[in-house]
Structure 1
Amino acid sequence: MRLRVRQFAHVLERSGLALAGAACGLFVGAHVGSSVPALTTQGFLLLMMVSGAFGFYLGIDTPQIPFHPHEEGTPAERKIDAAEFLSAVGTFLATLTAFFAVGIIILREDPHIVWTSLIMAGWVIGVVMQIVAGTIARLRR
């Protein structure tokens, strides 16, 4: 019984992360779509939402490399955990760009197309980093 409750809680948590990613993707898509007429489509918004959901589902809550404090100073300990690093940077970048997109929408600003392009690039790079991090972490299990 206890195991099923833990599994349910984990699935619920991951589903919540996926929903947060989809919401972030929706905000970035709404801002970019309102600035670039060619991207004002339902398909573009759906793509942004799905990529956000997929990235946040895979890239957040990645299993870490086991830590062995008794082996401090060994070459293995000095290595950077690529999955953990990519997950952290990708999550920060994706949520930062979503934050800026929401701010622009709420404040009804009309930024230069360069800023919109940077928001789109930051979103794509962040989500790709999350997906790669989640893939790396799950392949090494």
Structure 2
Amino acid sequence: MQTRVRKVAHVLERLGLAMAGAASGLFVAALVGTSHAVLTNQAFLLLMMVGGAIGFYLGIDTPLRSTASNDRPPDDAWVDRVDTPDLLSSIGTFLAAFSAFACVGLIVLRHDPHLAWIWMIMAGWVLGVAMQITAGTIARLRR
């Protein structure tokens, strides 16, 4: 019984993260679309929302490396090792969330930033989501 409840709670958590990612993609697409007329279409909005949903679903809660692995070094050896998916996930989450935060701030305050700033925000969001997707994929493949 407890296991089913935990599984349902985990699925709800993942869906919530996916919705947060889709919303962040929508904010970034709205800012970029208002500044660059070519990207003012539904396909671009949908692409950004789907990318954000996948990135936040896969990358925020990456499964840890199995402790039952035979190739696990002694406990002291883990001190200097970097868990690549964990690092990619944390940096990617920061970049995507910061970009979405900046977009919301610019939209609410009705600022019209220079095109270079908009492209930097877009690049930060795309890079962040790509890092999240990569981290989630690596972590799930090595399980």
Instruction: Give TM-score scaled by structure 1 length.
Output: 0.94
Deviations 1:8-46 (A, max 9, x none): 000000000000000000000000000000000011000
Which residue of 82, 89, 94 corresponds with 1:92? 94
Aligned residue type for 1:89: I
Alpha-carbon contact 1:71-1:77 (below 8 Å) kept: no
Aligned residue type for 1:29: A
1:2: which partner in 2?
A: 2
How far apart, in 2, do the equivalents of 1:65 and 1:81 lie? 9
What CA RMSD, in Å, does the superposition of the two structures yield over aligned residues?
Answer: 1.6
Q: Where has structure 1 moved over 3 Å in runs of 4 or more?
A: none
Residue 79 of structure 1 deviates from its aligned partner by 1.6
Residue segments in structure 1 that go unaligned for 5+ positions in a row:
none
Residue 64 of structure 1 deviates from its aligned partner by 1.8
Residue 66 of structure 1 deviates from its aligned partner by 5.0
Alpha-carbon contact 1:32-1:39 (below 8 Å) kept: yes
Which residue of 114, 131, 138 corresponds with 1:112? 114
Deviations 1:49-81 (A, max 9, x none): 0000000000011012357xx93432x542210
2:26: which partner in 1?
A: 26
Residue 121 of structure 1 deviates from its aligned partner by 0.3
Give the SS at the match of 2:129: helix
Which residue of 126, 135, 138 corresponds with 2:137? 135
Alpha-carbon contact 1:22-1:51 (below 8 Å) kept: yes
Which residue of 65, 71, 74 corresponds with 1:71? 74
How far apart, in 2, do the equivalents of 1:133 and 1:10 lie? 19
How far apart, in 2, do the equivalents of 1:5 and 1:64 lie? 21
Residue segments in structure 2 that go unaligned for 5+ positions in a row:
68-72
